[in-house]
Structure 1
Amino acid sequence: MSENQNAALYFVDRHVDEGRADKVAFREAAGAKRSLTYGALAQRSDLVAGAFEQAGVVPEQRVACIVLDQIEYPEIFWGALKAHVIPIALNTLLSTSIYDFILKDSRATCLMVSHELLDVVMPAAAQAPHLKTIVVIGGEAPEGTISYEDFLTGAAPKQAVHVGEDECAFWLYSSGSTGQPKGVRHVHGALQATSDTYGAQVLGIREDDVVYSVAKIFFAYGLGNAMTFPLSVGATTVLFNGRPTPDVAAQIIADEQPTIFCGVPTLYAATVHYFENNPVPQSNLRMCISAGEALPEEVGNTWQELLNVEILDGVGSTEMLHIFLSNRPGDVVYGTSGMAVPGYELRCVDEDGAEIAPGGVGELLVRGASAAEGYWNKRSKSRATFEGEWTRTGDKYEITAEGRFVYCGRTDDMFKVSGIWVSPFEVEQALIAHPGVLEAAVVPKRDEEGLEKPQAFIVLKPGAAADKVLPELKTLVKEKVGAWKYPRWIEVVEDLPKTATGKIQRFKLREVA
């Protein structure tokens, strides 16, 4: 019989055999500060696997996980993999209507939900025709549900079911920034594919590292940061179940002393601004990483000046599971996304599929072992995105003569002015270089002659006066990125529409432009 390639064996159980049973795998950053050792994780995930079997959740059925970043999450995720039931890591910030769609679309038969989220989730759960078991984590379990501890009571521990590396392990749902979210199916082998490439060869994660990820576990980026990479080497993860505001991030850096901090551009920008008026904490950081959107050059440089640590800006996707394009330690060029992560191949193509020459702009395609096996019940979308071994990212990039990749924008966000492509991100970077601008988004708007020109929406920093800032911005953009790219219209807004993972939803701004 072939070797059992259940991912839980590599990421959880082997650590007991290798002498790490008593080492803390996860600890919580607030409240009771509970912790979970590698030995306890192995035992508890065996028990969760047995509880699924006891509850009649059979292999390959889906388990919806609407769970905060807390100790129970790794128990549930790895326990599900051991039982070969399919955990679906779901965004904990969605609306009832989106949960209603996902529970029906996925046909999940079991739901694991944190008590704090019941008010939003239960109305959707009540309408889910396939849902048979609802398990509540923390607090009292309402009528028709069962508490997590009662769910485990009486279950016989179950060791990892024998599977191949190409069998489905878990689902993620895409952010749905331009429509209904899509179920993305990942296989057991994809997890180690990311830790063997980015985790080992770019991040260089070590057993003595302590990792804190601002991005939550439900996010592909957060799943790698908080679970896959630390568990690949026996490191420790700090979990925080609340909203990661700049003051909270600074406090966790100070109190928990992580060595690796995993952020997103919006949080880095807001925290840099926070440090303008608050002390920078003493830290033990040796590495910071960023993904989700391109990191503005200004933000990267300022963070490094303040904390004396680089940010490795990289690019990943739900479809590819984690980062496949990144800057490297000691070789960071802010304003670029770096180069291909070892183990991945990249190319940029034009509208006809021909590869572009350096200096041109094209859509980025990626090839690597972590690619999803496809979307759930979206055959035409799967065929359009997954072209054989290549995955279309939907991102437009320029390749420099040195081979670095420079982000230009989403394919849907790019537009032409005077026949020349304009990158919204490039103009946005120029705008936030102004000391009075916190955030910016650029979209096309038609002028009185029906021609597209840039329109900017900006969020000012507290204390900045619009009448002083606005007159300076058009000139600033002309000087930094080109005369034809300056925004003809600039609107000051309180905030920008974003997905729960921090990506700006420019399509919403296009609707009002």
Structure 2
Amino acid sequence: MTIDQAYEQQVKAFSLDVPQTYNFAQQVDDYATEHRDQLAVHWENEAGDVLQLTYGKLKAASNQWANALQKIGLTQGDRVIVLLPRSLEAYIVYLGLIKSGTVVMPGSEMLRPKDIEYRANHAGAKAVIAFGDITSEVDHVREQCPTLTTFVIVGSEKAGWTSYETLVADESTEYTAVETSSDEMAFLSYTSGTTGGPKGVIHTHAWPYAHQKISATYWFDVQPGEMAWATAGPGWAKWIWSPFVSILGKGGTAFVYAGRFNPETYLNLLAKHPIAVLCSTPTEYRLMAKVDNMERFKPRALRSACSAGEPLNREVIDAFQKHLGITVRDGYGQTENSLLVGNFVGLDVRPGSMGRPSPGVNVSIIDEDGKVVPNGTVGDIAVHKDAPILFQGYLNDEVRTARAFRGDWYVTGDQGKVDEDGYIWFEGRADDIIISSGYTIGPFEVEDALVQHPDVAECAAVASPDPDRGHIVKAFVVLKRPEQASDAKVKELQEHVKNLTAPYKYPRAIEFVESLPKTTSGKIRRVELRAAEKERSQ
């Protein structure tokens, strides 16, 4: 039997029977009951400090937190913004919220006051759980967020905030998870759009169930008891995907590194620890592949590696195979779904290809009429509305939800083509969304920040090709006084954007122009600017 035939059999045999009630945290608790002493989370920082949680302690700590939630009046269905860094507490807090039936709203520690205010008011959030540094960002806007009534600080104490450590100190370690319906909201993640504010993506309790059965099983591939390192940080949908659901749901040990990215440090950690599975971003893989004498680093236990966030270069895949003997398997998904397409375990990897559709997920290339196009034809990458991993719509936004679908298909916004063997190849974005180092950035958010600077008349932000990050944000800026154009003005505008919105959104390149290309109706033609950047890079 060929590899392709094995894949076809796998797809045909796949079935998913989602129970009527399901709670991911209860599943983890059940595993913990049988494996109390197994390591669940290993955390370390740049200084070499180490903290660990066994499954038994993780269950007990998340039970204490769930009991504390009742005491402070948070109940099933309440929406809670979580702003935590890579930490043991992130795992405890997420599990406690899920088992209590409250809705988790993941948020990056890089969010700025404007970002927090938008999410809180759009979702009607009732509480914020945050670590020390970011509480100041919340304090700037808490008076503008009338639904926020509960503020919990993790790791320190502060006036106006309730200490997490004090809350859980005397709570019982026994707790029975709330019975949650599979179609009940569990996660509310925000993702950038081409216009307007970020979209609130609704995922139900059925989503982690389906994700485990598909992505965690056929792509991520951690086995019970194995240590796995997924480098995504809390606050992103990808953290829920891999570091959280895929590892704990499969009985693995989550390796957490709370330090700045450095390619040699990452390679050293793989040599030091028994990490069997690595899931990193293309940018991180690209920079690791550039390390001199990469073969010096001999991974202690690495047997499997995967990547997601943006297309992975063939050169990177070749470097890891040549120097470390590991084939990095690319995958493709979005906040709105899970893994849609992947180079699955046991499937022939075709460098440069996304891979093949996930078992149980109907992914096709369609045209503007919603019809599947022939092999080799470029079209829109779309997933059928019946896919078990698909989101349940955008919160309070019927218009943008409807716009995301074309007939029976959810349209991802990316374009691609299918070869004669069913492998899908990425061709580019069909819209103006910018993906840089795995971050999804809407041009509107960058432009909105820039035009708030008194010297900016108008601007446009687009994706510009970059060898390390895939793409960077580039802004074309028309100044009110063109003579002000200078390197100093570039730095001033960059800092201005960093202060108004999450720093990863700032334009790494700024070009001052006299005017912007527009349609006859006055709409900026970002597509023209984007095409010029692509041509310039070739």
Q: TM-score, normalised by structure 2?
A: 0.75
- In the other structure, the counterpart of 2:323 is 306
Aligned equivalents of 2:75, 2:426: Cα separation in 1:
44
One of 276, 283, 292 as aligned partner of 1:266: 283
Aligned equivalents of 1:181, 1:274: Cα separation in 2:
37
Aligned equivalents of 2:247, 2:213: Cα separation in 1:
12
- In the other structure, the counterpart of 2:131 is 114
- In the other structure, the counterpart of 1:29 is 44
> Taking structure 1 as reference, are residues 334 and 121 closer, same or farther at Cα in structure 2, changes over 3 Å only?
farther
Equivalent residues in 2 for 1:391-402, closer than 5 Å? 391-402=410-421
Aligned equivalents of 1:124, 1:116: Cα separation in 2:
15
- In the other structure, the counterpart of 2:428 is 409
Per-residue deviation, 1:175: 4.0
Per-residue deviation, 1:64: 0.3
Percentage identity across aligned positions? 26
Matched residue type, 1:80? L
Specify the SS of the correspondent of 2:140.
helix
- In the other structure, the counterpart of 2:481 is none
Per-residue deviation, 1:142: 1.4
Aligned equivalents of 1:509, 1:215: Cα separation in 2:
33
Aligned equivalents of 2:378, 2:104: Cα separation in 1:
38
> Taking structure 1 as reference, are residues 239 and 504 closer, same or farther at Cα in structure 2, changes over 3 Å only?
farther
Specify the SS of the correspondent of 2:30.
helix
Per-residue deviation, 1:32: 3.6
One of 334, 344, 369 as aligned partner of 1:328: 344
Aligned equivalents of 2:36, 2:20: Cα separation in 1:
24
Per-residue deviation, 1:389: 6.1
Equivalent residues in 2 for 1:76-475, closer than 5 Å? 76-139=93-156, 141-156=157-172, 157-176=174-193, 179-275=196-292, 279-320=296-337, 322-330=338-346, 331-367=348-384, 368-386=387-405, 390-412=409-431, 438=468, 441=471
Per-residue deviation, 1:306: 2.0
Aligned equivalents of 1:122, 1:509: Cα separation in 2:
41
Specify the SS of the correspondent of 2:40.
strand
> Taking structure 1 as reference, are residues 246 and 311 closer, same or farther at Cα in structure 2, changes over 3 Å only?
same
Aligned equivalents of 1:280, 1:503: Cα separation in 2:
34
Matched-pair contact (CA < 8 Å) for 1:396–1:407:
yes
Q: What CA deviation, in whole Å up to 9, does each residue of 1:192-251 have, x standing for no partner? A: 101111211233321132111111232222222111111222110011233333233223
Aligned equivalents of 1:258, 1:115: Cα separation in 2:
30
Specify the SS of the correspondent of 2:291.
helix
One of 61, 67, 74 as aligned partner of 1:57: 74
Q: What CA deviation, in whole Å up to 9, does each residue of 1:276-319 have, x standing for no partner? A: 58943433211111111111112221222222101110101100
Q: What CA deviation, in whole Å up to 9, does each residue of 1:19-66 have, x standing for no partner? A: 211111111022541111111122222221111110011211111001
Matched residue type, 1:20? H
- In the other structure, the counterpart of 1:41 is 58
Matched residue type, 2:58? L
Per-residue deviation, 1:413: 5.5
- In the other structure, the counterpart of 2:29 is 13
Matched-pair contact (CA < 8 Å) for 1:215–1:501:
no
Matched residue type, 1:406? W
Aligned equivalents of 1:32, 1:438: Cα separation in 2:
30
Matched residue type, 1:356? V
Q: TM-score, normalised by structure 1?
A: 0.78
Matched residue type, 1:146? T
> Taking structure 1 as reference, are residues 171 and 248 closer, same or farther at Cα in structure 2, changes over 3 Å only?
farther
Matched residue type, 1:106? A
- In the other structure, the counterpart of 1:66 is 83
Aligned equivalents of 1:199, 1:504: Cα separation in 2:
34
Per-residue deviation, 1:117: 2.5
Q: What CA deviation, in whole Å up to 9, does each residue of 1:247-287 have, x standing for no partner? A: 33223222333111111111111121234589434332111
Matched residue type, 2:218? Q
- In the other structure, the counterpart of 1:484 is none
Aligned equivalents of 1:400, 1:29: Cα separation in 2:
44
Specify the SS of the correspondent of 1:363.
strand
Per-residue deviation, 1:501: 8.0
Aligned equivalents of 2:84, 2:231: Cα separation in 1:
15
Matched residue type, 1:383? A
Q: What CA deviation, in whole Å up to 9, does each residue of 1:373-404 have, x standing for no partner? A: 11111111111225676422111011111211
- In the other structure, the counterpart of 1:449 is none
Specify the SS of the correspondent of 1:371.
coil
Aligned equivalents of 2:298, 2:505: Cα separation in 1:
24
> Taking structure 1 as reference, are residues 384 and 440 closer, same or farther at Cα in structure 2, changes over 3 Å only?
closer
Please, which runs of 5 or more residues in structure 2 have no aligned partner? 1-18, 434-462, 476-497, 510-525, 534-538
Aligned equivalents of 1:175, 1:500: Cα separation in 2:
14
Matched-pair contact (CA < 8 Å) for 1:374–1:386:
no
Matched residue type, 2:43? E
Matched-pair contact (CA < 8 Å) for 2:91–2:244:
yes
Q: What CA deviation, in whole Å up to 9, does each residue of 1:436-472 have, x standing for no partner? A: x546659999xxxxxxxxxxxxxxxxxxxxxxxxxxx
Specify the SS of the correspondent of 2:350.
coil
Aligned CA RMSD, in angstroms, stands at: 3.3
Aligned equivalents of 2:506, 2:357: Cα separation in 1:
22
Aligned equivalents of 1:323, 1:503: Cα separation in 2:
28
Matched residue type, 2:60? Q
Specify the SS of the correspondent of 2:56.
helix
Specify the SS of the correspondent of 2:144.
coil
Matched-pair contact (CA < 8 Å) for 2:194–2:431:
no
Matched-pair contact (CA < 8 Å) for 2:79–2:105:
yes
Aligned equivalents of 1:350, 1:244: Cα separation in 2:
40
Matched residue type, 2:305? C
Aligned equivalents of 1:264, 1:345: Cα separation in 2:
25
Aligned equivalents of 1:339, 1:146: Cα separation in 2:
48
Specify the SS of the correspondent of 1:325.
strand
Matched residue type, 2:414? D
Matched-pair contact (CA < 8 Å) for 1:219–1:501:
no
Aligned equivalents of 1:379, 1:392: Cα separation in 2:
16
Matched-pair contact (CA < 8 Å) for 2:229–2:243:
yes
Per-residue deviation, 1:134: 1.2
Matched-pair contact (CA < 8 Å) for 1:177–1:505:
no
> Taking structure 1 as reference, are residues 146 and 413 closer, same or farther at Cα in structure 2, changes over 3 Å only?
closer
Matched residue type, 1:310? T
